Structures are given as structure tokens and as C-alpha cells.
Structure 1
């Protein structure tokens, strides 16, 4: 599938980010071993491609959990109790930031702004943002992560 994506984006002006997102959508992450091929097709150095991947926190170079829990650590969320959410998430999941639960269900990330400052503190689970949370609310959200999976 990587070869097909490389062909698809090869002549796309500014196609690096769309290509990286397509690779990640297809594989779940951007494998480090794919970087040289991506660089060649985009007429960039491997260092330039790696620089783009490392700049955007949504791009991953290793497999992640089926769900991602992002806890905002920006100033507004910190001032409104964000550290409590950080500790609650780590304690309930039994992992630190940048880690994935043993069952592969959740990856925990610390991010610096979800763009929801007026409703701090906030977290995002996959693509859904939750606002004005306290530890109890976050605990309930974590308990419900993945509910209904496989119900087709």
C-alpha cells in the first residue's frame, strides 16, 4: 500500500503532509523505514521528512493504541486544574505520557493546546474534545473508552 500512496502523491505540489497523513491512516503510523522512500518521491532529504514528522504531534513513528487520550497541558488548562487530570489519567491507565496500555487500547499523550481554552481543562479522546473536566469526569470517560467497539 505504501508504494500506491507514493505514486498517488508523487507529483502533488506540497504533497508531503497529505502523503504522511495517508500513510498514517493506512498503517496507523509512519514507519521509520518508509522515510527514505517518502523523501525520494517528494524530492526531499530524509532529514527534512523526519523534521516534518517530529514537528507535528499527530504524526507517529511507532504503533499507537486503538484510542488516543490527549491531556492538554497548556497554561489555561494548567491554571484550571489540568495537572489533576494528568495524574488521574496516568493513575487510571497505569501508564505515563507517550505510552500505550498493555492491551493496546489507549495511548496517553500530553499536548500543548487543544484550542479549547475558554472551557479549560480539556482532553481529547480520539477526535472528540471534552471540556471543563475534573478527575471524576475524566475517570468516567476513560472507563467508557472503546465501549461499543465492534458493534457493527
Structure 2
């Protein structure tokens, strides 16, 4: 329990520092979210109100931006995007999506196209792109990500 309290305090302290750095910039929300994501690896949902208050925005506006952009996320851990475009689907991306979701639960997102159709099926793990993905390769990559 005390570890969660320490993390929450640390998150709020980092968020406050980031807000102070960008508060007076026009359109500060995106730079704030990028800096928080870079510092923590995700945007803790408990800080949405703090971000909104610090930038004079509503919680809905902050949440809307976080949920709209695929690079922002509320959960720690690897971010896995699996292409569900036609080429990738024809090469088995649906099975990869099921496998990744079974292994990770949260943090797996189907996307329409990663732009590498010639090397289908494609995945993106925390901004590292991998083509010609198999279930065996995916299991190995996810095991390394989870262990890190």
C-alpha cells in the first residue's frame, strides 16, 4: 500500500513539474502529455484532474486528447499495436491479436495499418516495428518486454 502512495506522490510531483514548464505556452496540453508519457511511460489516470486544473481545461478535454492519440496510454507496460489491415489479416494478424491480448491483457490495440504491408503481418511494440511476425516470434518479444 505504501508503495502505491509513494508512486502516486511521485507521479503528481512529476506532473506538476511538467505543467510548470509548459503552463504559459499556447497549446500546452500536447507538450505536457508527451513529457509525462516520456517521464513515466504512461499517463496515470489519477493525474488527469491535475493536468486539467493546471492548464485550465476540463477533465473531458484532457481525457479526449489522451484517448484520441494512439501514442498516449493510461497503463504502464509495453504498448502493442497489431495491424489489422487487409494484408496483415490475410497473413494471420487476428491470431496475433488474440495471443498478445491473452499474454498482456491491457496495452494491446488493433490498428488499421502500420504501413509495411509487404512484410505482413506487422506489429509495433513500444514504437519498435516488427514485420513478418509469427506467433513464436511474438511470444518471444512479449516475454522480453514483460521481463524488462
**TM-score, L = length of structure 2:** 0.73
Supply the distance in 2 between the matched residues of 1:84 and 1:132 (Cα, whole angstroms).
13
Supply the distance in 1 between the matched residues of 2:80 and 2:113 (Cα, whole angstroms).
13
In structure 2, the partner of 1:42 is 55
Does the 8 A contact of 1:84 with 1:134 survive in 2?
no
Q: 1:51 to 1:146 in 2, by over 3 A?
A: closer
Q: What does the per-residue CA deviation read over 1:80-120, in whole Å, with 9 as the maximum and x for residues that have no partner?
A: 321132234345x2x54x2xxxxxxxx43333332323322
The offset of 1:75, in angstroms, is 3.0
Q: 1:6 to 1:128 in 2, by over 3 A?
A: same
Does the 8 A contact of 1:116 with 1:122 survive in 2?
yes
**SS of the residue aligned with 2:72?**
coil
Does the 8 A contact of 2:15 with 2:51 survive in 1?
no
Alpha-carbon RMSD: 2.5
**TM-score, L = length of structure 1:** 0.71
The offset of 1:144, in angstroms, is 4.2
In structure 2, the partner of 1:59 is 72
In structure 1, the partner of 2:90 is 79
The offset of 1:76, in angstroms, is 3.0
2:54 paired with 1:26: no
Q: 1:81 to 1:29 in 2, by over 3 A?
A: same
5+ long unaligned stretches in structure 2? 1-13
Per residue, is there more helix in 1 or in 2?
A: 2
**SS of the residue aligned with 1:139?**
helix
Would you say how many aligned residue pairs link Structure 1 and Structure 2? 135
5+ long unaligned stretches in structure 1? 99-106
Query: What is the correspondence of 1:109-120 to structure 2 with a 5 Å cutoff?
Result: 109-120=109-120
Q: What does the per-residue CA deviation read over 1:15-49, in whole Å, with 9 as the maximum and x for residues that have no partner?
A: 21110121122233222332233223333222111
Q: Does 131-140 or 6-15 show the bigger shift?
A: 131-140
In structure 2, the partner of 1:137 is 137
